Every structure is written in C-alpha cells, then in structure tokens.
Amino acid sequence: MEIDFSTIKVIGFDADDTLWVNETYFRDAEEHFATLLEDYETKNKIDQELFKMEIKNLGLYGYGIKGFVLSMIESALELSNNEVSQATLLELLNLGKNMIDHPVEILDGVKEVLKGLNGKYRLIVLTKGDLLDQERKLEKSGLSVYFHHVEVLSDKKEKNYQDLLDHLEIPVNEFLMIGNSLKSDVLPLVNIGAKAVHIPFHTTWQHEEVEEPKEKNGYITVGKLTDVLDFL
C-alpha cells in the first residue's frame, strides 16, 4: 500500500534503539544478573523470574533503568530466599549506575537522516524511558540541535499519543512517528489515524513483541533509517 507523506509536518522519533543503542545494555545487565545469582537457579529460570518481576512492577515503576534495578534487587532476594549477599545487592546498584552512565552509541544513519530532515519538519524525541536519562543521552549524543524538544510519555498507547497531539495542537494527519517497536511506535499511531515508519532493531524486549498485522495500513517497514530520505 502506498502512503501519502505529503501532509506530514511533525515527526516524532523514538529514542532507545531508534536513535541509539539501548536494549543491548539491558540484555548485558540481565546476563550479569544471571551470573551473580547462578548459585541459586539455572540461567533460564533466573531470566524468566526477572522478566516476571519487571512485568509485575511495571504498573508501579513504569519504564526505565531505576525500575529495572529495583526489580533486579527484589528478584535477587526472592530467587535466593533472602540469602543473596549484601555485596551482590550493592553490585546490582552499581550495575544500574553504570547503565545510566553508559556512553551513548548513536545508530547508523541517524545523523545523516536528522540533517536531511532538519528544517523541513519539526522533529520531536518521543520516548517512554526516564526523562532525565533521555535528556542526558540526547545531550551526550550531540543530536539535541536537531530536535524541537523531548517528550516523555508514561506509556506509548493510543491515549498517550492522542493526548500529546492534542496538547501540542498537531492534527493527526500531519504527524509521523519513526521507531523500532511495532507495538509502541507504530500500531497505536496508525490506530489513531497518524502515520508511522517501522525500523526493526535486532533485539526486542519480550514485553514489546507483538504480531505483525496481516495488512499494513498507515505504516511502512524499512530496513535502515536512511531509507526514509527516499520519501521524506
């Protein structure tokens, strides 16, 4: 299906795994977590239990590294029947600090695309991580010059996007979202009548996985970010 991008005036960019690497560091932290707790359970069981704990706490903690660290600590206590050492718990705190403080690794083609779109569209960073983390990453990345501002959503469901477009007074047909998550960056947008470009990242958090619709309506999937310069 052909999509008409001629009405687009504002483009929202997802940040994590669209502008820069993110999920990879969570996977590394999960590996580290499993190693620290290998005396108590199999790696497979540890992975499963940590994921369950994250999902259980998601409503309270929301997305981002701090909630992830709190869930790691709780999961470590539970998996070990409160026997995990204090030194290991301290290591989990430091693991989280290192994640927050990690250098930013910008993905291929991001600068080229932002330069190409700059001036033609109003560009916004649109993320559901932690505001401070995302601002820091944007600052470190040197990409902030291309963006009008950063918006953090507590979740990326239809209502969150609709509320945002309402308060920014952006008509739905003028908005395009670009991101790696079909569930969070693509489907909610097309469901409210906006458009989206899906750029899969090689790693997807289990919680973000969703089945591809049989018919693509309102969005296209491209292999690499620079492909958007062919039609924007």
222: closest CA among 193, 199, 203, 205?
199
Binding segment toward a copy of itself, per CB under 8 A, in 6-14, 87-95, 113-121, 207-215: 87-95
Q: Please, what is the minimum distance in Å from the beta carbon of residue 156 to a copy of itself?
A: 12
Contact 100, 26 (CB under 8 A): no
Q: Please, what is the minimum distance in Å from the beta carbon of residue 94 to a copy of itself?
A: 9
Which of 67, 109, 200, 218 touches a copy of itself (CB under 8 A)? 67
Burial class (CB in 10 A: 0-12, 13-18, 19+), 154: exposed
Which of 69, 113, 114, 176 touches a copy of itself (CB under 8 A)? 69
Name which of residues 101 to 160 contact a copy of itself (CB under 8 A): 101, 130-132, 135, 148-149, 152-154
What is the number of residues in the chain? 232
Angstrom distance (rounded) from CA 188 to CA 146? 25
Which of 163, 171, 173, 212 touches a copy of itself (CB under 8 A)? 163
Which residue stretches of 110-186 are H helix? 110-117, 131-141, 158-167
E strand map for the chain: 10-13, 122-127, 149-152, 175-179, 195-198, 219-221
Binding-site residue total for a copy of itself (CB under 8 A)? 37
Angle at 197 between CA 196 and CA 201, to 5 degrees: 130
Under the criterion CB under 8 A, does residue 87 sit at the interface with a copy of itself?
yes
Q: Please, what is the minimum distance in Å from the beta carbon of residue 101 to a copy of itself?
A: 7
Angstrom distance (rounded) from CA 85 to CA 68? 19
Please, which residue, 159 or 224, has the CB nearer to a copy of itself? 159
Please, which residue, 135 or 158, has the CB nearer to a copy of itself? 135
Name which of residues 21 to 60 contact a copy of itself (CB under 8 A): 60
Angstrom distance (rounded) from CA 141 to CA 20? 8
Interface contacts to a copy of itself, rule CB under 8 A? 60-62, 64, 66-67, 69-70, 73-74, 77, 80, 82-87, 89-90, 93, 96-97, 100-101, 130-132, 135, 148-149, 152-154, 163, 166-167
